[in-house]
Amino acid sequence: MAILNIRREGDPVLRQVARPVPKVTRRIKKLIKDMGETMYHANGIGLAAPQVGVGERVIVVDAGDGLYALVNPRLEKEEGREVDVEGCLSLPGVLGYVERAARVVVSGLDEDGRPRRLEAEGLLARVFQHEIDHLDGVLFTDKATMVWKEADEKIHGEAGAPGSPYGPDQEEQGCVSSSWEPPGSRCRA
């Protein structure tokens, strides 16, 4: 296994639509293992193959329930909507509010090439959607309603603090989700 180089915003591979994987081969299995190791090394909770320079439809996700690897993942069903804060390993230090489905059904192939169908909600659903967006050349900042640097949050403090990136009434409106506790837990996918 190897730690792979994570591509940063501005790298053209992040804006390209990834190719479907025709078959899960030893190369794809190694890619999955390397991506998982890279994600954990970077303290991430999700990683898509384009983020490591590979233009193929492969993602790894671990939102606290163990590692999921999907080849050619698809969103089959989306329910509900929620807004929460996201970050990205390809955009270090950048955060933003993104509206996504609260619950999803995702399908694809597992690391052995077998069909897999997963139901996810909350953070896990959010990470699957974030990573599948990467496969389509979409960054979270493309969908964010507000974007700011993490350093601004550290300087200005919590929601509603003078100069913070979000106002005091946004917490009451549900814009700051309780699923994002403690504040140090950020979706960096």
Using one digit for the tens of pLDDT, what is the confidence trace for 49-72? 999 999 999 999 999 999 999 999
Q: Give the pLDDT score at 185.
A: 40
Q: Is the pLDDT of residue 150 over 90?
A: no
Choice among 56, 111, 131, 153 that is catalytic? 131
Which is nearest to 53 in space by CA: 69, 81, 34?
Answer: 34
Q: Is the pLDDT of residue 183 over 80?
A: no
Task: Give residues with Cβ within 8 angstroms of 163, minimum separation 6.
Answer: 155, 156
Q: Average of pLDDT values for 89-104?
A: 97
Whole-number mean pLDDT of the chain? 86
- For the chain, report the end-to-end CA distance as a whole number of angstroms: 20
Model confidence at 155, in pLDDT bands (50, 70, 90)?
A: very low
- More confident: 60 or 175: 60
Q: What percent of the chain has pLDDT over 90?
A: 78
Question: What's the chain's Rg over C-alpha atoms?
Answer: 16
Q: Is the pLDDT of residue 188 over 80?
A: no
- Quickly count: other Cβ atoms within 10 Å of residue 184's Cβ: 6
Full-model pTM: 0.81
Active site residue 181: no
Q: Average of pLDDT values for 166-175?
A: 36
Task: Give residues with Cβ within 8 angstroms of 72, minimum separation 6.
Answer: 20, 21, 57, 108, 109
Which is nearest to 189 in space by CA: 129, 116, 109, 101?
Answer: 129
Domain 12-180 sits in CATH at 3.90.45.10
